[in-house]
Amino acid sequence: MIFNLFNKRKKMEIKLEHHLDSIAIPANLRINDQIKKYREKCSKIGCHRPYHHFAFGQSPFSPPAEIINALRDNANKHSYLPTAGIAELRKAVSDYYNDVFKLQSQARQVIISPGSKEIISIILSVTEGDVLIPTPSWVSYLPQALILKKQVQPIRLHEDSHFKLTPALLEKAANNSSHDQHILILNNPNNPTGAVYTEDELKALATICRKHNIIVIADEIYARTSFDFSKFISMGKIFPEGTIVTGGLSKDRSAGGYRLGIGVFPDNEKLIKDVLIVAGSTYSCVAAPIQYAALAGFSRIEAVEKYMTDTARIHATIGRIAAGLLNNIHGVKATVPYGGFYLYVDFNEYAEELKTIGLTNCANLCEHLIEVEHTALLPGNSLLLPEDDFSVRFSFVDYDGDAVLENWKRENPSSEQEQTAFFKAYCPLINQGIQNIERYFSQVAEGRLPVHA
């Protein structure tokens, strides 16, 4: 009878939009959940082999105390707010971008969103044209475009231009397209390569943009993590009439979980209105307490500015050392980063061996690396590369950020030797994880499927 009772619970077939069938849960989120679960399991059974998590791009530090305190102080803010954001915050963001990045914006050009990811998605939804995505790329641009049924043109970047988009490649993409307007997503500093564009490079790209009606979404969320910030130039300064600069609190101010992003738009009333129409019918406004907290993040408070300088120096040091260690592995090539907290690592030297031992694509390789070496990397197919391209993204943030920041300030390591010692002492999971990769590929080189030593 119980059986019958259960059977009585009706099922209904629900028809879903087909274009979503080809889109997977983003690999970074999926692997992050997976590794978290493994770590929990490990810690329960007192496992001695830790997981090395290089597949997720979260700042390892706590946000500046000023921002956390501001959230605490504004916990009672519970009213609906204007969709574009509170006037004070839009003004602060505009002033901040004008001051720090030499834009010439007004507060009316700023829109606050729950993360820069959502504002990028909304911009894609309101603008006409195909989407030009330089690859390797961040994991989310492609699914965002596919969800919106936008046409996508990946632009494959090459080592000889340090994985930067060149005017020639951009022009070729525009000429290839049947659209008379295009949307270029230009991520600078770049995730995953760590490349940073020079002023001349941006100017050359802007020339092509003007010639071919290319709107730029300049995803500059990592701007303040640039290792030499004096050299960072915003595309919003170079190409103000056609660039939307996006950013937020998530990376340089370490508050990814606060979900606050910003867009600085060209002074184009209709574009801004259309974005607000979509924003008003989806997220409505960003959480009120978070908006007030963000004021502390965009008001050039000295402690917050110093925090960003210190943490960028730490990223620079760890990135340089990690790249060096990876490049020391036979047959492995890693980019040398200029900002952000990623390296782009190329294992294609081992493509034949990998295929021979049954690891036919990069996703297989990465799964196997987790299994055998407890070492997680983001496979190239998530970066919009072909499945059999054995390149990966390596996030060098798997350490205890608060302890590292504290020790960094105390020890202030400056020589190469001091910094290497610092790295070995405080970033053991990265150090050991790279050794795991080395051991793994030494077995691949011998033509056998690696096992844990």
List binders of a copy of itself among 341-400 (CB under 8 A): none
Of 290 and 369, nearer to a copy of itself (C-beta) is 290
Say whether residue 254 binds a copy of itself (CB under 8 A): yes
**Burial call 422-447: b when 16+ CB within 10 Å, e when fewer:** bbeebbebbbbbbebbbbbbebbeee
If the CB atoms of residues 146 and 336 are measured against a copy of itself, the closer one turns out to be: 146
Tokens 């060209």 correspond to 266
Cα–Cα distance, 331 to 351 (Å, whole number): 10
Stretch that binds a copy of itself, among 18-26, 318-326, 367-375, 403-411 (CB under 8 A): 18-26
> Is 44 among the residues that bind a copy of itself (CB under 8 A)?
no
Residue 212 engages a copy of itself in binding (rule: CB under 8 A): no
Stretch that binds a copy of itself, among 61-69, 95-103, 340-348, 359-367 (CB under 8 A): 61-69
| Total length of the chain | 453
Binding status of residue 247 toward a copy of itself by CB under 8 A: no
The least distance separating a copy of itself from the CB of residue 13, rounded to whole angstroms, comes to 8
Query: What is the x/- site pattern for a copy of itself, positions 174-203, by CB under 8 A?
Result: ------xx----------------------
- Report which secondary-structure segment, H or E, holds 334: strand 333-334
By CB under 8 A, residue 2 contacts a copy of itself: no
Q: Which amino acid is at 204?
A: A
To the nearest whole angstrom, how small is the minimum distance from the Cβ of residue 85 to a copy of itself? 12
> Tokens in use for 84?
């574009």
Q: Which is nearer to a copy of itself, 129 or 189 (CB)?
A: 129
| Rounded least distance, CB 389 to a copy of itself, Å | 23
Q: Which residues contact 37 (CB under 8 A, 6 or more apart)?
A: none
24 counts as binding a copy of itself under rule CB under 8 A:
yes
- Residue 303 binds a copy of itself (CB under 8 A): no
Q: For residues 234 and 440, what is the distance between their CA atoms, to the nearest angstrom?
A: 40
Residue pair 343/323 in contact by the 8 Å Cβ criterion: yes
CB nearer to a copy of itself: give 121 or 135. Answer: 121
CA distance 96 to 110: 11
State in angstroms the smallest separation of the CB of 440 from a copy of itself: 28
16 belongs to the binding site for a copy of itself (CB under 8 A): yes
Which 86-125 positions form the footprint of a copy of itself (CB under 8 A)?
A: 114-115, 117-118, 121, 125
Q: Is 154 in the site for a copy of itself (CB under 8 A)?
A: no
Candidate residues 41, 49, 72, 156; the one interacting with a copy of itself per rule CB under 8 A: 72
- With contacts defined by CB under 8 A, how many residues of the chain interact with a copy of itself? 84
Enumerate long-range contacts of 69-78, CB under 8 Å, 24 or more apart.
69/296, 70/292, 70/293, 70/294, 70/295, 70/296, 71/258, 71/289, 71/290, 71/292, 71/293, 73/292, 74/288, 74/289, 74/292, 74/293, 75/289, 76/289, 77/288, 77/289, 77/291, 77/292, 78/288, 78/289
Q: Which two tokens stand for residue 117?
A: 């990811």
Selection from 161, 175, 122 nearest residue 145 by Cα: 122
Least Å distance, CB 14 to a copy of itself, is: 5
